[in-house]
Amino acid sequence: MTQRSNAAASKQPPKLSIHQRSRVLARKETLSAYLFLLPSLIFFLGFVVAPMVMCLVYSFFDMGLNMDEATFVGLGNYFEMFQDAIFQKGFLNTVIIVVVAVPTVTAFSLWVSSAIYQMKAFTRSFYRCVFYLPVVTGTVAVTVVWKWMFNPYNGLINQIFDSVGFNWLGNSSTALACIIMILFTTSIGQPIVLYVAALGNVDHSLVEAAQVDGATKFQVFWKVKWPQIMPTTLYILVITTINSFQCFALIQLLTSGGPNHATDTIMYYIFDMAYKYHRFGYANAMGVILAIIIAIFSAVQFKLAKSET
Amino acid sequence: MKTKNRLSDTPMSYRIFTIVVLILLAIFFIFPLYWIITGSFKDNKIIIAQDPQWFPLTPTLANYVKLFDRPALQWLLNIVVICVGAMVLTCLTASLAGYALAKKRFYGRAFLFGMITCAMALPKQVIVIPLLQEMSAIGLHDTLWAVILPTVGWPFGVFLMKQFSETIPGEILEAARVDGASEVRTFCSVVFPMIKPGIGALAIFTFVNTWNDYFMQLIMLNSEAKWTLPLGIARMQGEMSNDFGLIMAGATLAAVPIVAIFIAFQRYFTQGISMGAVKG
């Protein structure tokens, strides 16, 4: 099609000014671009953008499963959230999970990666494989085996610590820590793969130049390598933050938010609100708030990372 | 030579410390998988006993017999259909769209790309509840499509393929146009071979993420015949929380095939995972 229009344009140059011709081409290119985009746009608009809009709209309604019985409540759902003690508890727990898990995962994966990236190819891929194992094992499979290991009566953990009968997941002072620990094992695989790749791509001539100038290993790392892997760090921070905020399977399968809401998170409370209490409007309002909180966290990380380099 | 000296600068004690910690961590990370697989062959008496048996001395297949009393193979089939369906559709739509976003100049391009980037930063799980209402409205709730369609819509694939298509040299596309190749032809015989590694990466990424998207499966699939294997394991755990042998048999069935694929194609996995972030 484009070919033909090119030929047509060159055959009759006097009829079309350059301006007109470029406009025809631009229109053709726009048309073909949208044809390429069409299949993807159908899915994106239909199953991502539309539910996002619905989420926002429904958050202003008091509604159950049946949409016909919805009543407009304005910001009512949002006001309710601020008085809902369980929501606040869930909010606090979510923030604890994020604030503990994100820096730990990032720092730890950086340490492992810098320890293994200069090893022999086989050893390096062995460790990379090992740390990625919980991801491919699958969240649910990993969670159920930990549930067994934490079992008070026949779990391995109590055998090892000689503390038979201690209920790790049923105790409000240890449950959240256990969940963060398991979340940690399932979150660390991807950052390690990313850091190993990024450290391998660091410009070696700069490292050598610094060494010739007598920089210590520590200085080489902070002054030469760290700035170069900054984009990777930023990416890892953002994906780990989003994943930690959305941590759900672990909570549902291990503790169901208990004991006494000690491990409730916003995500789990949203689920409870929608499926146990059928309060879809309220659940959607919490979803909107969760999205805003994640956006703020990501933006802050972007700002911090930008100011560092 | 100077580099070598610098490297061995690190005190011996620190290097030993690193190696010991890494080995301990490796055991810690491998152990759950070991415990799943060996647990699936243990008799229930051994499982509920207080003293752990580190290796199943009297292996039994009883757990698997119990597992296959349930439609476990159907669950496995369901999750494979979901993952493969999502993978194929995502790769197809994302490579077309990514190419257009990277290489075509058209009205609305900046807006569209901005929208895609913003959507990516939002939590996927938040839209699952309105999605459920949408799926019920169009009659797809409790079908495998209800999990596949939103997964395909998630814009990460478009973003990745756009980044990847940026590397196609404009001259090659221009040359194809001058030679009279149609748009479709250009895409199939010029663009596609160049973005193949990106598509491979996206395929792996989509497969693993869809498999692990437990929340979506939990919300969308209701009837037992529609459950996926992860969902089936979770539900069985809810029903009979102390039959760990049975649950481990389910977990083995879910984990071992992917772990085997992962170990066989490790290089492609790691390439795929790191590719997504090179420019992201």
Read off the pLDDT of each residue in B240-263 and give the average, rounded to a whole number: 89
Please give the helix or strand (H or E) that residue B198 lies within, else none: helix B192-212
The pLDDT tens digits of the residues spanning A147-186 come to 999 988 888 888 888 777 788 888 888 899 999 999 999 9
Q: Is the pLDDT of residue A70 over 70?
A: yes
Nearest to A3 among B32, B100, B177 (CB): B177
pLDDT at site A16: 56
Q: Higher model confidence: residue A235 or residue A131? A: A131
pLDDT at site A308: 63
Q: Of A153-162, A272-281, A299-308, B218-227, which gets the smallest average pLDDT? A: A299-308
pLDDT at site B276: 58
Q: What span, in angstroms and rounded, lies between the C-alpha atoms of B20 and B179?
A: 62
CATH topology of domain B70-239: MetI-like fold (1.10.3720)
Does residue B208 sit at the A interface (CB-CB below 8 Å)? yes
Find how far residue A206's CA is from the centre of its chain.
33
Beta-carbon contacts of residue A65 (< 8 Å; ≥ 6 apart): A278, A280, B133
pLDDT at site A17: 62
pLDDT at site A15: 53
pLDDT at site B101: 92
**CA distances from residue B256 to A34, A133, A135, A184 in whole angstroms, order as listed:** 42, 11, 12, 22
Q: Of A51-60, A253-262, B15-24, B71-80, which gets the smallest average pLDDT? A: A253-262
| ipTM here | 0.87
Nearest to B49 among A6, A112, A154 (CB): A154
Question: pLDDT-based confidence at B4, cuts 50/70/90?
Answer: very low
pLDDT at site B30: 94
pLDDT at site A21: 66
Mean pLDDT highest for which of A157-161, B208-212, B275-279? B208-212
CB of A48 closer than 8 Å to CB of B127: yes
Q: How is residue B33 written in tokens?
A: 């998988």
The pLDDT tens digits of the residues spanning A243-276 come to 898 888 899 998 888 788 888 999 999 998 988 8
In chain A, the DSSP E strands lie at: 61-62, 71-72
Read off the pLDDT of each residue in B198-206 and give the average, rounded to a whole number: 87
**CA distances from residue A24 to A36, B175, B217 in whole angstroms, order as listed:** 19, 20, 47
CB of A212 closer than 8 Å to CB of B2: yes
Question: pLDDT-based confidence at B2, cuts 50/70/90?
Answer: very low
Instruction: Report which DSSP code applies to B51.
Output: S
Q: Is the pLDDT of residue B146 over 90?
A: yes
Q: How is residue A52 written in tokens?
A: 């996002």
Cβ within 8 Å, pair B254-A141: yes
Mean pLDDT highest for which of A60-64, B74-78, B111-115, B208-212? B74-78
The pLDDT tens digits of the residues spanning B49-83 come to 777 788 888 888 889 998 998 899 999 999 999 99
**Percent of chain A clearing pLDDT 90 (strictly above):** 34
Mean pLDDT of chain A: 85
Question: pLDDT-based confidence at A105, cuts 50/70/90?
Answer: very high
Does residue B191 sit at the A interface (CB-CB below 8 Å)? no
Q: What span, in angstroms and rounded, lies between the C-alpha atoms of A172 and A176?
A: 7
Does residue B222 sit at the A interface (CB-CB below 8 Å)? no
What is the SS3 string spanning A94-162? HHHHHHHHHHHHHHHHHHHHHHHCCCCHHHHHHHHHHHHHHHHHCHHHHHHHHHHHCCCCCCHHHHHHC
Most A-contacting residue of B24, B106, B142, B267 (CB-CB within 10 A), to test interface: B106
**CA distances from residue B79 to A212, A256, B71 in whole angstroms, order as listed:** 55, 24, 13
Cβ within 8 Å, pair B97-A36: yes
Instruction: Report which DSSP code applies to A175.
Output: H
Read off the pLDDT of each residue in B165-181 and give the average, rounded to a whole number: 86
Most A-contacting residue of B9, B40, B78, B122 (CB-CB within 10 A), to test interface: B122
pLDDT at site B164: 85
Q: Higher model confidence: residue B104 or residue B280? A: B104
User: Which residues of chain B are within 8 Å of residue A148 when distances are taken between CB atoms?
Assistant: 35, 39, 244, 247-248
pLDDT at site B87: 95
Distance from CA of A33 to the nearest CA of B (A): 5
pLDDT at site A145: 93
Beta-carbon contacts of residue A152 (< 8 Å; ≥ 6 apart): A158, A164, A165, A166, A167, A168, A170
pLDDT at site A87: 92
Q: What span, in angstroms and rounded, lies between the C-alpha atoms of B52 and B244?
A: 13
User: Which residues of chain B are within 8 Å of residue A150 when distances are taken between CB atoms?
Assistant: none
Q: Is the pLDDT of residue A141 over 90?
A: yes
Q: How is residue A213 written in tokens?
A: 């100038």
**What does the domain layout of chain A look like in residue ranges?**
2-58, 80-308
Mean pLDDT of chain B: 86
Cβ within 8 Å, pair B134-A54: yes
Cβ within 8 Å, pair A156-B127: no
Read off the pLDDT of each residue in B82-101 and give the average, rounded to a whole number: 95
User: Which residues of chain B are within 8 Å of residue A147 when distances are taken between CB atoms?
Assistant: 237
Q: Is the pLDDT of residue B3 over 70?
A: no
Cβ within 8 Å, pair B33-A253: no
Q: Is the pLDDT of residue B7 over 70?
A: no
Cβ within 8 Å, pair B33-A133: yes
Q: Is the pLDDT of residue A79 over 60?
A: yes
Question: pLDDT-based confidence at A4, cuts 50/70/90?
Answer: very low
**What does the domain layout of chain B look like in residue ranges?**
2-62, 70-239
Read off the pLDDT of each residue in B91-98 and give the average, rounded to a whole number: 94
Class of domain A80-308: mainly alpha
Q: How is residue A197 written in tokens?
A: 């790749």
Q: How is residue B172 written in tokens?
A: 């090659």
The pLDDT tens digits of the residues spanning A32-49 come to 889 999 999 999 999 999
Distance from CA of B79 to the nearest CA of A (A): 12
